[in-house]
Structure 1
Amino acid sequence: MNSQNNPLVSVIVPVYNVEQYLDECLNSIRQQSYENLEIIVVEDCSTDNSLNTFIKHSEDPRVKLIQHEKNSGLSAARNTGIDAAQGKFIIFVDSDDIVHLSLIELCVKYAIVNDADLITYDFKAFEDGAKLIPQLDLPNIENFKILEPGEGYFNQQHFAWLKFIRTDLLKSRKLYFPVGLYYEDWPFHWELGLVANKKYHIPAELLLYRQRKTSITGSLGKKLLDLFKVHSLVLNLLEKYKAVSLKEKFANKVKMSQWSILTRIDKHYLAQALNNTKKINKDLKNKNYKYEINIRILITNLITSLPNILALKLLKILRILLKR
């Protein structure tokens, strides 16, 4: 098979304090049915035994280790991987997850056949502690779907680890993850969707997502405030690319996110979350972003339209009723 039909794929694996998960993750990558890989492990100054756990995997010549001089976070680790990638395609795998053993083979197949910029796929969540064996059988997925610019892709989850991307698209657009923010997948997801022309989706659960209590997606503390920052980043992207057709879709996601933040965030950050909600709502209104109305959005709009003293009292009552 020539290099055109057997292109090198760069698998980027950020590593930070995952000693109990790293073996499962790297084994599922090294055992892929598609073998022409470079596995770029970016070690972000772990304080546990992750580095020693990695050592036995370094016997595989496809595995490359890059070590940060100081802990810089997930975004920086992924960006380091992008810069180092030599493959025609890039795929991100979080170091506590497990991938289907045919994932990359399927992605390469559909990317080549359709000259795709981007392939997405589904995932299956599992509870931390459950023992799962990565699958090798090829799913029957003849009915994969093309993702049109204004639909499909932007309804999907934001996670970077659900994407198989043409490398020159990322590098030519200088598309990176924002450093210093949590929920960094949001702006990356939206800008990637805006610049990728040919997008396809494989309707199969090809990644096993480990649900951990300590994960960012489950955080109720100060980290949750970063959602407001990434919402603003995405809003600016939509304005930059003049993506008028996506304004309502984005506004719907923001409004539903506000309910989740205001009813879940730690009480010590509730006042700040309220102020941030008011600010983004003002921006949406000034830029004429419309959105769908449901009971949660109605309640959120009513509360956030009130003076802060009254709004905070109502939010506290609402959280009690919801047992938050």
Structure 2
Amino acid sequence: MTTIETPLVSIIVPVYNVASYIDACLASIKQQTYQNIEIIVVEDCSTDDSKQALAPHLTDERIKVVQHRENSGLSAARNTGIQSALGEYMMFVDSDDIIDTRLVAACVDCALTTHAEVVTYGFTPFKDGSTETNLPYPAANLAFEATKIDGSYFSLPHFAWLKFIRASVVRSASLYFPVGLYYEDWPFHWHLGLSTQSKYQLPIDFYLYRQRGTSITGSMDKKLLDLFVIHATVINLVQDYKADKIKNTLADKIRQSHWSILTRIDNAYLADALAQAKKADKTLRLKGYKNDLTIRHILISNIVRMPSQVAFSILQMLRQVLNKRARLKVKRE
């Protein structure tokens, strides 16, 4: 590649209380076969030894540390990274995860050859505590070819760390992460898809996702209620863009989310979750959203439309059945 063909890539890494993981994360980024990168570390006022763990990496001039004055959360840290990025392209890596050394090179090659505004890729989960030799790195001789994706983009996982993005798109569309809410990847994912035309997918699982017990994605507490606010935000985005063709895809994702919330959330918040699910169901119907008729979608929709006391009782029974099945599955394993 010539100098013109080696654009600067900004890799944004939010850091908060990840002293045990940041070394492996930054090592995997520094070892990328594509070298023209800037690594923007946004330190969000950690209370552990994360700052000390960063110190050995600061000899690499590609690393830039931005220090928050007060803890502001993941969304704010990513937004700070976006504001600080100088690259022609940008991507996100969570500080407890690891990336294959070929990831950036593959994304740059795809973006340059296809003129993609967004390049997506897959991930492989691994359990916290796995040793270096047990990490699920893809085969060294892996061959892959990018595929153009249009509407199918919206069916992909929402995670921000599965996207390689032309920076000019982020700025022209004023893309950002909502501060003060969990599940912030949802609106970013949909807004990015609505704001771009050229999207490609690489059939590679070059992102290694660490499965931790404290992960938000596995939460069962009050955080799940934020999803109702997030869903409403995305519905408004789709309406603003008049993107009727993707309404059914969004409806499917929201129905699946309702199932997850109502069957998983702590019992103390179930009544509140049911009330919000009822409001959301009414909004979906009034706005003409239709979802696939899967057993889960039909079941959860019918329960939500029942009188509150009846719906609550049926949900309690459903949750007991699902919990019993889960316990039996664990015993068999």
On whether the aligned pair clears a TM of 0.5, the verdict is yes
- The answer for unaligned runs of 5 or more in structure 1 is none
What amino acid maps onto 1:140 in structure 2? A
- Alpha-carbon offset, residue 207 of structure 1: 0.5
Q: Deviations over 1:173-217 (max 9, x none)?
A: 110011111000000001101111111111011110000110000
- Residue 139 in structure 1 maps to residue 142 in structure 2: yes
Does the 8 Å CA contact 1:124/1:205 hold for their aligned counterparts?
A: yes
- Alpha-carbon offset, residue 303 of structure 1: 1.6
- Alpha-carbon offset, residue 138 of structure 1: 5.8
C-alpha separation in 2, matches of 1:208 and 1:197? 28
Match of 2:72 in 1: 72
C-alpha separation in 1, matches of 2:106 and 2:4? 15
Match of 2:318 in 1: 318
- Alpha-carbon offset, residue 308 of structure 1: 1.5
Q: Deviations over 1:145-199 (max 9, x none)?
A: 1012x22x11111000000000011011110011111000000001101111111
What amino acid maps onto 1:15 in structure 2? V
Q: Deviations over 1:83-138 (max 9, x none)?
A: 00000000100000000001001111110111110100010001111123575946
Q: Secondary structure at the match of 2:323?
A: coil
Match of 2:6 in 1: 6
289-298 or 9-18, which deviates more:
289-298
Q: Deviations over 1:253-280 (max 9, x none)?
A: 1111111110110001101100110111
- Alpha-carbon offset, residue 291 of structure 1: 1.0
Aligned residues: 321
Q: Secondary structure at the match of 1:205?
A: coil
- Alpha-carbon offset, residue 302 of structure 1: 2.0
C-alpha separation in 2, matches of 1:42 and 1:123? 23
- Residue 234 in structure 1 maps to residue 234 in structure 2: yes
Fraction of identical pairs, as percent = 51
Match of 2:45 in 1: 45
What amino acid maps onto 1:118 in structure 2? V
Q: Secondary structure at the match of 2:203?
A: strand
Match of 1:180 in 2: 180
- The answer for unaligned runs of 5 or more in structure 2 is 325-333
- Residue 266 in structure 1 maps to residue 269 in structure 2: no
Does the 8 Å CA contact 1:102/1:137 hold for their aligned counterparts?
A: no
What amino acid maps onto 1:45 in structure 2? C
Q: How high is the TM-score relative to the length of structure 2?
A: 0.94
